[in-house]
Amino acid sequence: MAVKTWKLLIEPEPLPGDWNMAVDEFLFRRVEASPATYLRFYQWDKPTASLGYLQTASRVVDADYCRRRGVGIVRRITGGKLVLHDHEVTYAVASSDAEVFTETLRDSYRLISQALMRGLELMGLSARMAETSPPAYVKGNMPCFALPARDEIEIGGKKIIGSAQKRTGAAFLQHGSIPLEKDDDLLAAVAAPGARAAASAARPAESGMTSLSEALGRPADFGWAVDHFRRGFADLFGVALEPFILGPGDREAVTALRDERYATDAWTFRA
């Protein structure tokens, strides 16, 4: 049997949040149009809060604080809760390969979690998938990293990777945040007061999140971490990863998506 080939896009330079979200949607649109799988790793050029597609901005993020402190705000096309992107590896998988991922959200989500855990294993870390989602987390507006949700990845009971997915038939986009370092104070500051209080009540004694550096007991950088996660995906799925870069036409399409959607308040702060 021939080995499947995925496209691998590694972006070592930090990028603006609206551009990052536009690239992810661009890759999703590509796999909707033509069967393929893309694996992308990227960073953010400044601390940026991302909102889930269905979230009401005023309930989850303190926009005034973010404006004063230069924290970006974007809205994803995927679901999920508020995430603060800062000093992290962000991954994205866009695919329409139903032979590998099936056509169900949970099956594909679990497969990707297994690949990410393989990457953590290669780093010498022992991780597991959370078994259940606490009811207060599911129903409330607390940030993504307040608690582990079902099938999300945790180390020692603390969430280390938070992910979200959008799916149309066999085509899906899943992306997620893998903190290299954590900043509980900044996360608390960017969350709206109600969401902040809910997270504190759910886990008052300690943080619900960890980071690669904390789990390893030493600093971890972007390139080192990406190399391990890249190998984790290749090992678990038995695929070859072929380097991919955005061509001029691709960048034009991404720019259009950014300008018409992700760079606008109408999209980011819509009710």
Return the active site residues: 144
Block residue for tokens 């061509």: 247
Q: What torsion, rounded to 10 degrees, do the Cα atoms 228, 233, 235, 238 define?
A: -150
- 53 alpha carbon, distance to own chain's centre: 13
Other Cβ atoms less than 10 A from the Cβ of 103: the count is: 13
Q: What torsion, rounded to 10 degrees, do the Cα atoms 45, 9, 161, 129 define?
A: 180
What H or E segment, with its residue span, contains residue 248? helix 248-257
Question: Which pair of structure tokens corresponds to residue 17?
Answer: 């949040």
Which amino acid type is present at position 132?
T
Which amino acid type is present at position 72?
G
Which of 225, 209, 216, 188 lies closest to 126, judged by CA? 216
Block residue for tokens 């551009």: 19
